[in-house]
Amino acid sequence: MNASSLILSLGPFQGITDAPFRNVFKRHFSGIDKFYTPFFTGIHKEEHAKNLQGEEIDPKCNDVETLTPQILSTDADEILRFARQCQQLGYKEINLNMGCPFPRVANKKRGCGLLPYPEKVEAMFEAVFEQIGDMKFSVKCRLGYFSPDEIEAILPIFNRFPLSELIIHPRIGKQLYKSEADVERFKALTPYINAPLVYNGDIVSVESYCRINEIINDGPSTPSTGSGTEGSGTLINHFMLGRGILANPFLAEEIKNDLADARGVADARGASLQGKTERLHNFVLDLYEDRLHHAGGSPKVLGRMKELWSYLMNDFEEPQAVWRKIKKINALKEYEEAVEEIFKNNNIIL
């Protein structure tokens, strides 16, 4: 695969990758081709649902060509209301979250909690596809909630419908985000999936991207059974980045630079550690100012900045020392001073 055929997307993170994050990220870093909103819920009205009025989805604040709004729902009517309103705003695709593992969601048969119930998924998809028209509909899921075998019963249903994309994070819900993503299991599924397939999970460095890509695309492929129910087994060229890019915002451009064989003569912006420190520092400052501006100067922005720092701390030689400085902060001034101090006195290791 070359750099131009590779698609990298930024996975949605509730409480982190909102519109200010996405927009500031785009000003400071490159390499991401597609974005997804963190999930929406509670679309109660046919028109102008309250939570579809803000900057999170407003086309004035977002690029409708590269952003896919996501919904967490099991109600076909609600999904259709969401699709229609997103379409009116100019979006071309919506994504259904069938991956959220948190017990308060999954225990209600929502998110990945829906995966053990193929008959429910089928009824919901029938109702959605009957009326969704030309709005594209994609799905983000796991291998299952209780067991990785659950996906086997769900795939024939996914294959019955023209999903615009299927993003699979090869963990089960009960694992939450712990232990390793099962890349081999993902690979074994690839010949049996009709929709354009996206891999998500544990890409934290150029090396891990290369390793995962090699397993998925270069290893021996499962032979076709000729039953006509399996997909074409084509190259997987779309990878969704998650916690790896929250920790290292240079990750997408590093992967693409590496593919373009530009390592070492890298893009001057990312070449030196000092250059990277400056870029990371500017990004963090810009994001904070943007959030503060949108929040009318309220200290509530600290929650989201701290959440991001729980990943960014890993960029520094002594992550725990950095985290200790950030986690206890509850005033804006303290935060501003701590960030300056961190960048002045701590080496980054990216």
Ligand X SMILES: Cc1cc2nc3c(=O)[nH]c(=O)nc-3n(C[C@H](O)[C@H](O)[C@H](O)COP(=O)(O)O)c2cc1C
- Rounded CA-CA distance 124/221 in Å is 32
Residue with smaller CB distance to ligand X, 202 or 230: 202
Piece of 23-31, 197-205, 207-215, 278-286 that binds ligand X (CB under 6 A): 197-205
- Rounded CA-CA distance 192/83 in Å is 27
Q: State the nearest-atom distance from the C-beta of 51 to ligand X, in Å.
A: 14
Binding-residue pattern over the window 317 to 336 for ligand X, x denoting contact by CB under 6 A: --------------------
304 binds ligand X (CB under 6 A): no
| 242-271 binders of ligand X (CB under 6 A) | 242-244
Residue with smaller CB distance to ligand X, 37 or 85: 37
Q: Which amino acid is at 215?
A: I
| 186 within 8 A of 216, measured Cβ to Cβ | yes
200 binds ligand X (CB under 6 A): yes
Residue with smaller CB distance to ligand X, 74 or 200: 200
Q: State the nearest-atom distance from the C-beta of 79 to ligand X, in Å.
A: 15
With helix as H, strand as E and coil as C, how does 277-303 read?
HHHHHHHHHHHHHHHHHHCCCCCCHHH
Pick from 152, 147, 191, 186: nearest CA to 169? 186
Among 11, 113, 118, 249, binds ligand X (CB under 6 A): 11
The string of DSSP letters for 152-220 reads HHHHHHHHHTT-SEEEEEEEEGGGTT-S---HHHHHHHGGG--SPEEEES---SHHHHHHHHIIIIISP
Q: State the nearest-atom distance from the C-beta of 284 to ligand X, in Å.
A: 18
| 28-57 binders of ligand X (CB under 6 A) | 38-39
Q: State the nearest-atom distance from the C-beta of 169 to ligand X, in Å.
A: 5
- Rounded CA-CA distance 144/141 in Å is 8
Residue that the structure tokens 């979250």 belong to: 97
- Rounded CA-CA distance 326/348 in Å is 16
70 binds ligand X (CB under 6 A): yes
22 binds ligand X (CB under 6 A): no
140 binds ligand X (CB under 6 A): yes
| 73 within 8 A of 79, measured Cβ to Cβ | yes
177 binds ligand X (CB under 6 A): yes
331, two tokens? 């005033």
97 binds ligand X (CB under 6 A): yes
- Rounded CA-CA distance 309/323 in Å is 7
141 binds ligand X (CB under 6 A): no
- Crossing angle, helix 118-131 and helix 76-89, to 10 degrees? 40
Largest CA distance in the chain: 65
Piece of 122-130, 184-192, 196-204, 261-269 that binds ligand X (CB under 6 A): 196-204
Pick from 93, 101, 100: nearest CA to 35? 93
99 binds ligand X (CB under 6 A): yes
Among 116, 170, 173, 201, binds ligand X (CB under 6 A): 201
Number of residues in contact with ligand X under rule CB under 6 A: 20
Piece of 46-54, 184-192, 195-203, 321-329 that binds ligand X (CB under 6 A): 195-203
Piece of 11-19, 156-164, 231-239, 285-293 that binds ligand X (CB under 6 A): 11-19
Q: State the nearest-atom distance from the C-beta of 41 to ligand X, in Å.
A: 10
* φ, ψ dihedrals at 143, nearest 5°: -75, -25
Residues that bind ligand X (CB under 6 A): 11-14, 38-39, 70, 97, 99, 140, 169, 177, 181, 200-203, 242-244
